[in-house]
Homo-oligomer: A and B are copies of this chain.
Amino acid sequence: MNFTEKLAKISLKNRSLLCVGLDPDPALMPEKIGVFEFNKAIIDATADFVCAYKPNIAFYEAMGHEAVEALHETISYVPKEIPTIIDAKRGDIGNTAKAYARSLFDRFNADAITASPYLGYDSLEPFIERRDRGVFILCRTSNPGAADFQSLPVGEDKKLLYEVVAEKVNEWNKHGNLGLVVGATYPEELKLIRQRYPEILLLIPGVGAQGGELEQVVKYGTDKGRRRTVINSSRQIIFASRGKDFADAAAKAARELRDRINAFWR
């Protein structure tokens, strides 16, 4: 079963488009808890309400070897039916791109990853060619500086750069395993992308802490028939409480957000 099928299956079973971002931050976690222990409790508490988990590898790398080991453990611990997306935003050339594909897909065993488009097709090919895995390519990100390059008008017909990226990724999507990252903070852009490419996978970060309006995100970012949209929330779920009840609070936050998404999804 490939990534797209795995995602659709668990999304249907859990009635959920919600992805929980596993981005540990010792300053926001309960005291005296290890990274894996924290993630394990969050996974146990939320596994019935999600369609995917998305650890951002930067947080683990910043904490050093033990945290990177905890990421391995975390991915092994996630129930087999729930896909994991390592948010790595990698992009490099030739042999180096192959090395990243080995690292993320084989060593970490991620079902999907995020990648950066700037270096073009051959930098993405080692990921794309892993047909059973998913690849979400940065398109329109949710940060203030996104407009610096992504919103530049390009070429004769003045499409914006992010639109050209979406167009190219759609062309490259021969195996049906590609997706786009489009931030929740840009609902109009989300609408345009989803209308043009109803079949492509979409990963939408920026709901919650980053302020994306949920109703618009759901209406514009989903499609009716397919479960190919993943709406990510990290801090709002995993740091819902810093007390001993953090896992229960995460479960409650995940269930509520899942249900709010479903209420908007028609």
Q: Distance in Å from the Cβ of A81 to the closest Cβ of chain B?
A: 27
The closest CB in chain B to the CB of A61 belongs to: B103
- A155–B152 contact, CB under 8 A? yes
- B100–A150 contact, CB under 8 A? no
Q: Is A117 an interface residue (CB 8 A)?
A: yes
Q: How large is the interface on A (under 10, 10 to 19, 20 to 34, 35 or more residues)?
A: 35 or more
Q: Is A186 an interface residue (CB 8 A)?
A: no
Stoichiometry, as copies per complex, reads 2
- B120–A118 contact, CB under 8 A? no
Selecting from A135-143, A213-221, A257-265, the interface stretch reads A135-143
30 examples of A-B residue contacts, CB within 8 angstroms: A23-B95, A23-B96, A56-B92, A58-B90, A58-B96, A58-B97, A58-B100, A58-B103, A61-B107, A62-B99, A62-B102, A62-B103, A62-B107, A91-B116, A93-B141, A118-B141, A119-B138, A119-B143, A119-B146, A119-B150, A120-B143, A120-B144, A120-B149, A120-B150, A122-B145, A124-B145, A148-B168, A149-B165, A152-B164, A153-B154
Q: Is A77 an interface residue (CB 8 A)?
A: no
Question: Assuming A25-B95, A68-B68, A91-B116, what are 8 further A-B pairs, CB within 8 angstroms?
Answer: A58-B96, A93-B142, A116-B119, A119-B141, A120-B146, A149-B161, A152-B161, A161-B161
Q: How far is the CA of A96 from the CA of B153 in the complex (A)?
A: 28
Q: Is A233 an interface residue (CB 8 A)?
A: no
Q: How far is the CA of A142 from the CA of B117 in the complex (A)?
A: 15
Q: Is A65 an interface residue (CB 8 A)?
A: yes
Q: Which residues of B lie under 8 Å from residue A122 when comparing CB positions? A: 143-145
Q: Which residues of B lie under 8 Å from residue A89 when comparing CB positions? A: 90-92, 116, 119
Q: Is A197 an interface residue (CB 8 A)?
A: no
Q: Which residues of B lie under 8 Å from residue A143 when comparing CB positions? A: 93-94, 119-120, 122-123
Q: Which residues of B lie under 8 Å from residue A148 when comparing CB positions? A: 117, 120-121, 168
